Amino acid sequence: MNKLFSFLLAVMVLASACQTPTKTTENMNPFFSEYETPFQTPPFDLIKVEHYMPAFEQGMQEQVDEIATIVANTNEANFENTILAYDRSGALLDKVSSVYFNMQSTDNSDEIQEIARVITPLLTKHSDNISMNMALFTKVKAVYERRNDMNLTAAQKRVTEKYYNDFVRNGAELTGDAQTQLKKLNEELSKLQLQFSENQLAETNKNFKLVVDKKADLAGLPAGVISAAAEVATDNGMEGKWVFTLQKPSLIPFLQYADNRDLREQIYRGYFMRGNNDNEFDNKDIARKMAMFRSQKVKLLGYDTHAAYAIDVNMAKTPENVDEFLMGLWKPALIVAKQELKEMQKIIDREGGNFELQSWDWWYYAEKLRKEKYDLDESEITPYFQLGNVRDGMFWVAQKLYGITFTPVSNIQLYNPEAEVFEVKEANGEHIGLLYLDYHPRASKRPGAWQTSFRESITMDGEKVSPLVSVVCNFTKPTGDLPSLLTFDEVSTLFHEFGHALHALFTAGEFHRTAGVVPQDYVELPSQIMENWAAEPQVMRHYARHYKTGEVIPNNLIEKIQKSGHFNQGFVTVEYLAASLLDLSWHNLKADENIENSLEFEQQAMDNIGLIEEIIPRYRSTYFSHIFSSDYYAAGYYVYIWAAVLDSDAFDAFKQSGDIFNTELAQKFRKHCLSECGDDEGMVQYRKFRGQDPSLQPLLIKRGLN
């Protein structure tokens, strides 16, 4: 876990809370010794809940001692005794954090949540104590001010600058009451983030189920969706019924195919009312408080708004640039979305429906429109996207581009039996790292899909530490004789997260703070570019095989998928942009502005941009976990479409070369945009690959918005 990530997640705790474990505890705790496992992977079979707090405590004490050693050193501050020493500090803390926080996301429990409630405020306090440690900052500043006269390498100079800026941005130059106030705000924000996340988990996985007890109410649903719902019902003690949940593999097919309009409305309301039910899991007040606390916090740091603070270190640089960029896409996307609405309303009218299309109707009639315009039904292509084949297909793409291989490993301890692990090697057999894959929903897992790491790639003292990378998803489980079959959107999601994994696997660098670390609006380039290969006919023919017959997907279906590439892009783009602009609205607040009602604030923000009532933002405020469960995407949800400009332009280079597997281009992309991406600023690295600035045109063409 690099130091920037450590700052963002606040993975350090107050020194006064630290207690050195007893020898007995130390001997029993797997975190206190080298992992005696293949590839030194975490021994998940030995790690128990009771091991986390002692490991956190000892890791914290070690961090405290390491910082004290840096500060107490009477020699003149230099790169080795200050910057490098700080970069290498906290190894045990990172070791336990990388397991605990990942388990909190994938295999949460009452015990795990209780630990989070205890350590979260402590982690935040200690993070603040380090980032506002004037003695430490004075030494870092001394190296920073002399960096041009110390014969530093480019990498050493860059990491020095990054750490100096981190300290400034985290309040190191504040004094007295300002520091006290900042620490208090940070502590309050950390508690609210945790509460928001816990509430959303409960509202998504526990507090709503659509129970269907009449077979007639299943009309229109594919057999696989019905079978999965029956299995969920059985698991919930309701055998003979069908249960649908707010998890996307259950929700979206129901909205797409269920003929029963009342039930579609019921499940969609369950989805968009999460955190807004005036119960113990309500997030309205939490969102309001967090936005105001963030604006007060950044005022102390010299910024007008949290958006100005967050975007200052991104490629976009200012909120005004982001707003101009988003609104430039908003106008053509809204025009297209309104045209899509008209076309769907015609279907309703033609079928004798005596109603105006509502938000819970969009997926259903969009599916009808897709079939009408392109003779393509999602259920027609899903049988060709068996999960295992899609996985092998993305491995094949990586092998074609980079020469790497993926071999199943059976002697690695898994954190959950549903996961699997592969060894990743170079073409010459050299070990790169391990890749864990975890595909399906469970009650303990948070919604969505993401890539994470149990150990990050770095070169220390000339020796490379190999990464342990994980991809986590929430795809439909196999049921009975039916394997896990993906929608094409889920295929794209798997390729997307795999792109993040390649970034983590290929990362090269000497320092935790800079190795693989890029601006936030660059982060999605490595992931989104992989989605392009998923949709290529040449690639699809490799992985898309009918789960029953093994038949390769026929050309006519590929052609339909290709022709429908622009389909529903008005809706997709508008709901995303609406969420991005809602994020900016929350984080363009100034410190003296008071929000009294979250829903009214959200509605006003959407009215200001002219969002039509038939479309709801992809995330409403009360379940917008990207921006309220952590600081990472606060004022940064726009980054996906900013990076989409980069990925569309980058893939266009492959297309223009006449070979989508152009190995020369692939090696340049790997070197400049994946492995060495932390060596310089994002646009500098991108230009090294592309030889020019990115163009907006490939994205507009790709989405049919030009």
pLDDT in tens, 579-636: 999 999 999 999 999 999 999 999 999 999 999 999 999 999 999 999 999 898 999 9
pLDDT digits (tens, 9 = 90+) for 151-204: 999 999 999 999 999 999 999 999 889 999 999 999 999 999 999 999 999 999
pLDDT digits (tens, 9 = 90+) for 308-319: 999 999 999 999
**CA atoms of 253 and 224, how far apart (whole Å):** 10
How much is the pLDDT for 401? 98
Find how far residue 12's CA is from the centre of its chain: 22
**CA atoms of 78 and 510, how far apart (whole Å):** 17
**CA atoms of 56 and 100, how far apart (whole Å):** 10
> Tokens in use for 20?
């050195």
Instruction: Report the 3 state secondary structure along 655-670.
Output: HHHCCCCCHHHHHHHH
Order of strands, edge to edge, in the sheet holding 405-408? 405-408, 420-425, 431-438, 468-472, 450-455
How much is the pLDDT for 297? 97
Contacts of 617 (CB under 8 A, 6+ apart): 575, 578, 579, 582, 602, 606, 611
Please, are residues 614 and 575 in contact by the beta-carbon 8 Å criterion?
A: no
- Residue 161: count of CB within 10 angstroms of its CB: 16
> Tokens in use for 646?
């980069």
The tokens 């070791």 sit on which residue? 95
Is the torsion defined by CA of 4, 5, 10, 11 positive or negative?
negative
How much is the pLDDT for 1? 36
pLDDT digits (tens, 9 = 90+) for 679-702: 999 999 999 999 999 998 999 888
How much is the pLDDT for 166? 95
Quote the percentage of the chain above a pLDDT of 90. Answer: 88
Is the torsion defined by CA of 95, 100, 103, 105 positive or negative?
negative
How much is the pLDDT for 157? 98
pLDDT digits (tens, 9 = 90+) for 5-23: 333 333 332 233 333 333 3
Please, which residues bridge with residue 469 across strands? Answer: 435, 453
**Nearest to 625, CA basis, from 1, 293, 7, 194:** 194
Q: Residue 281: pLDDT above 90? A: yes
Mean pLDDT score, 666-681: 97
Which of residues 194 and 705 earns the better pLDDT score?
194
**CA atoms of 353 and 364, how far apart (whole Å):** 13
248 HSE (CA, 13 A, CB side): 16
How much is the pLDDT for 447? 87
Please, are residues 3 and 25 in contact by the beta-carbon 8 Å criterion?
A: no
pTM over 0.95: no
How much is the pLDDT for 397? 98
182 HSE (CA, 13 A, CB side): 23
Q: What is the DSSP string of 424-490?
A: EE-TTS-EEEEEEEE-S--TTSPSS-EEEEEE--EEETTEEEPPEEEEE--PPPPBTTB--B--HHH
CA distance readout (Å), 507 to 101, 455, 662:
21, 12, 21
How much is the pLDDT for 226? 95
pLDDT digits (tens, 9 = 90+) for 42-93: 999 999 999 999 999 999 899 999 999 999 999 999 999 999 999 999 999 9
Grade residue 27 by pLDDT with cuts at 50, 70 and 90. Answer: low
> Tokens in use for 153?
């390498």
Q: Residue 125: pLDDT above 90? A: no
Please, are residues 678 and 514 in contact by the beta-carbon 8 Å criterion?
A: yes
**CA atoms of 44 and 94, how far apart (whole Å):** 16
Please, which residues bridge with residue 450 across strands? Answer: 472
CA distance readout (Å), 395 to 140, 205, 371:
43, 31, 31
Terminal C-alpha separation, the chain: 41
How much is the pLDDT for 10? 34
> Tokens in use for 342?
């008209």
pLDDT digits (tens, 9 = 90+) for 479-504: 888 999 999 999 999 999 999 999 99
**CA atoms of 578 and 615, how far apart (whole Å):** 9
Please, which residues bridge with residue 618 across strands? Answer: none
How much is the pLDDT for 706? 76
Mean pLDDT score, 335-359: 97
> In this structure, what are the phi and psi dihedrals at residue 472, rounded to the nearest 5 degrees?
-120, 130
Catalytic residue positions, numbered: 497
Is the torsion defined by CA of 534, 539, 541, 546 positive or negative?
negative
- Alpha carbon dihedral 232, 234, 240, 246, in 10-degree steps, equals -20
**Nearest to 628, CA basis, from 118, 85, 77, 198:** 198
Using alpha carbons only, give the angle 314, 316, 318 rounded to the nearest 5 degrees.
95
> In this structure, what are the phi and psi dihedrals at residue 240, rounded to the nearest 5 degrees?
95, -5
Which of residues 24 and 218 earns the better pLDDT score?
218
Mean pLDDT score, 333-360: 97
Which residue ranges form the domains of the chain, and what is each CATH number?
A: 3-131+133-169 (1.10.1370.40), 208-272 (no CATH), 383-511 (3.40.390.10)
Q: Which spans in 29-109 are helix H?
A: 49-72, 85-88, 91-106
- Write down the mean pLDDT value for the chain: 93
**CA atoms of 171 and 153, how far apart (whole Å):** 28
Please, are residues 609 and 578 in contact by the beta-carbon 8 Å criterion?
A: yes
